[in-house]
Amino acid sequence: MDTQTLIYIFVGLSFALYIGIAIWSRAGTTSEFYVAGGGVNPVVNGMATAADWMSAASFISMAGLIAFLGYDGSVYLMGWTGGYVLLALLLAPYLRKFGEFTVPDFIGTRYYSRTARVVAVICLIFISFTYIAGQMRGVGIVFSRFLDVPILWGVIIGMGIVFIYAVLGGMKGITYTQVAQYCVLIFAYMVPAFFISFLITGNPIPALGLGSEVNDGSGLYVLEKLDLVLTDLGFAAYTDGSKSTIDVFCITMALMVGTAGLPHVIVRFFTVPKASDARKSAGWALLFIALLYVTAGSVGAFASLNFIDTVNEQSYAEAPEWFTNWEANDLIAWRDKNDDGRMQYRPGDAFEGAPVFSESGEGASGERVLENAATDNENEVYVDRDIMVLANPEIANLPGWVIALVAAGGLAAALSTAAGLLLVISSSVSHDLLMKTFRPDITEKGELLAARIAATAAIVVAGYLGIYPPGWVAQVVAFAFGLAAASLFPAIFMGIFSMRMNREGAIAGMVTGLVFTFLYIAWFKLWAPAANVEANWLLGISPEGIGVVGMVINFAVATVVASLTKAPPANIRKLVDNIRVPRGAQKPHMH
């Protein structure tokens, strides 16, 4: 059977499975829609959290980023796992004991204020939409490359699938589909990684393979060989970084704290039966996530080695099939600057900007002709970092079913995260804005209907962003983490650990943290991208890491304002006292 048929079969089967689960687990009440009835086993929830968390970015982009960043790529590996320690120790058990439906629920109740609730909803919606646009784009890439459908149809099919299980099933449907999606995505990630690690080092476990010798008889360790190959071509050594220490520090911290403050992750811990289950569940989630994360570093390094091996100094006429396939999808380009018919891969950009292909004619070797102005360095190869994981099995010449598996895995990762995000968007609209703020007299049936309508609307907006990705989408993923770190995390943390924190302090803190971080990122990423160089950064901290400063500002402003204003009322102090103690957790109550 050819690879294309296998891809259709694998993707088709996985979609049928998700829809089957969705029909089996339809939600009938708001409690089921928002938190799956609050009775999810901690191991199951851990697995669902892992799928929820590992997005198209983790599955498709991360190893590719690491392949090109080397040591600097560690910020993602540590940043996107270390947040679970904060979640387990500082937030999850207490929020579960609190026992409501959403993150704004906690902030609105703890700070006895509709304003605080609405500020939290705004943060949440902004964070979630930024994030979801990237997922839909991931779906589009996989579809257009592997299923030969235009991105438009790819996104529409993806929207249809998510619609079925998120709108019908709510959190209950999402939870059980995410379990299935986790299994698909981890299997799809590990199988090619085992193969490639075994091919290069003879050790099938990728995390150990990266620490082993290359089995080409040279006696060099993988990382030694990689450093050698890269420095020979003029790149920085793989095990050295080029970012400054303070920047690496701040980015890692912003990603960690941001992870702990992401609403779609937090809300998963509302679904387990009791507070002690929330911490167990966070442990399971990290275990399931770690399987992929300790592998990703190795996948990145092997991909880098394989890529240079197969591409550099290769003549274009004999380029491997995957190279021309990705070139046809605009994600690889080659410009023969020295007219030798061979591809030189060197540091620097091969030409200015993203590739713009001319519609007419071919180059001397049959390559697609570029309209971009050439740069005057020696590099001739443009490669989009996002393709490394998807192209890896092809680069390593693995069998067709492995490639099909990776296509299904990439879709599972993107769809599971998209569904989780849609759910927090819809519940914050129907529950926090409608039921708790503007229409408190709404019936449960009405609220459930509103949640479904909100989810549908959110899917349409997300799909639109996926089909017509505004230029800023790729630029602003830093927003999601930075804003979560600077706004939601401090408000929740102080709500639990400080008795004295009051309405005025929390709102002032959230607003200043949010505004500062937003302006800093927007300035360097959107309004003045030319100024986005280290010399202009505050304390040498890039926009990716600035959320940490926003967080510090939030804590400082909140503490000062709270000390100057009235202490919270007695019933709030009782509430805090109550959530600090695990005993007596209720199932989220019906309305």
Interface ranges with other proteins (CB under 8 A): 71, 73-74, 77-78, 81-82, 84-85, 88-90, 93, 207-208, 210-213, 221-224, 239, 245, 248-249, 252-253, 256, 274-276, 279-280, 282-283, 286-287, 290, 293-294, 297, 499-500, 567, 570, 573-574, 577, 580-585
In this structure, what DSSP letter does residue 236 have?
P
Q: Give 20's contacts (C-beta < 8 A, 6+ positions apart).
A: none
Quick one: 173 or 209, whose CB is closer to other proteins? 209
Q: Transcribe 219-231 into DSSP letters.
A: --BHHHHHHHHHH
Provide, rounded to whole angstroms, the least separation between the CB of residue 503 and other proteins.
Answer: 16
Minimum Å gap between C-beta 586 and other proteins is 11
Q: At what angle do helices 3-24 and 400-427 cross, to 10 degrees?
A: 30
Phi-psi domain of 210 (left: phi exceeds 0; alpha: psi -120 through 50; beta: other): alpha
Minimum gap (Å) between residue 265 Cβ and other proteins: 15
- Min. distance of Cβ 69 from other proteins in angstroms? 11
Q: Could you give the 3-state DSSP secondary structure of residue 530?
A: helix
Nearer to other proteins, 210 or 492 (CB): 210
Beta bridge partners of 221: 213
- We find the least distance from the C-beta atom of residue 394 to other proteins, in angstroms, to be 25
User: If DSSP codes are grouped into helix, strand and coil, which group holds residue 539?
Assistant: helix
Number of helices (H), then strands (E), belonging to the chain: the values are 25, 6
46 vs 138 by CB, closer to other proteins: 46
For the stretch 152-156, contacts whose Cβ atoms lie closer than 8 Å and that sit 24 or more positions apart, written own/partner, are: 152/467, 155/463, 155/466, 155/467, 156/463
Give the residue from 383, 368, 381, 365 showing the smallest Cα distance to 317.
365
* Smallest separation (angstroms) from other proteins to the CB of 183: 20
* Closest to other proteins by CB, 245 or 338: 245
Question: 164 or 246, CB closer to other proteins?
Answer: 246
Say if residue 530 is exposed, middle or buried (CB neighbours under 10 Å; 0-12, 13-18, 19+). Answer: exposed
DSSP, collapsed to helix, strand or coil, labels residue 343 as strand
User: By C-beta, is 159 or 210 nearer to other proteins?
Assistant: 210
Exposure class string for 212-233: b at 16+ Cβ within 10 A, else e: bbbeeeeeeebbbbbbebbeeb
| Residue 413 · residue 401 · CB < 8 Å | no
**Smaller CB separation from other proteins, 98 or 165:** 98
Q: Which is nearer to other proteins, 158 or 241 (CB)?
A: 241
Between residues 47 and 286, which has the closer beta carbon with respect to other proteins?
286
- What Rg, from alpha-carbon coordinates, does the chain have? 24
Q: Smaller CB distance to other proteins: residue 535 or 570?
A: 570
Residues 108 and 150: their CA atoms lie apart, in Å, by 44
CB of 282 to other proteins, least distance (A): 6
**Which residues touch 458 (CB under 8 Å, ≥6 apart)?**
129, 132, 422, 425, 426
By three-state DSSP, how is residue 494 classified? helix
User: Of the two residues 352 and 577, which places its CB atom closer to other proteins in the complex?
Assistant: 577
Contact 534, 476 (CB under 8 A): no
Q: Which two tokens mark 402? A: 């492995």
Nearest approach, Cβ of residue 46 and other proteins (Å) = 11
Residue 189 in tokens = 């990630």
- Taking Cα atoms as reference points, which of 346, 345, 395, 336 lies closest to residue 367? 336
Q: How far is the CB of 128 from other proteins (least distance, A)?
A: 25
Task: Name the 3-class secondary structure at 55.
Answer: coil
Cβ closest to other proteins, residue 243 vs residue 525: 243
- Taking the complex as a whole, the smallest distance from the CB of residue 240 to other proteins amounts, in Å, to 9
Q: Tell me the closest approach of the beta carbon of residue 189 to other proteins, in angstroms.
A: 15
- Report in angstroms how near the CB of residue 239 gets to other proteins at its nearest: 5
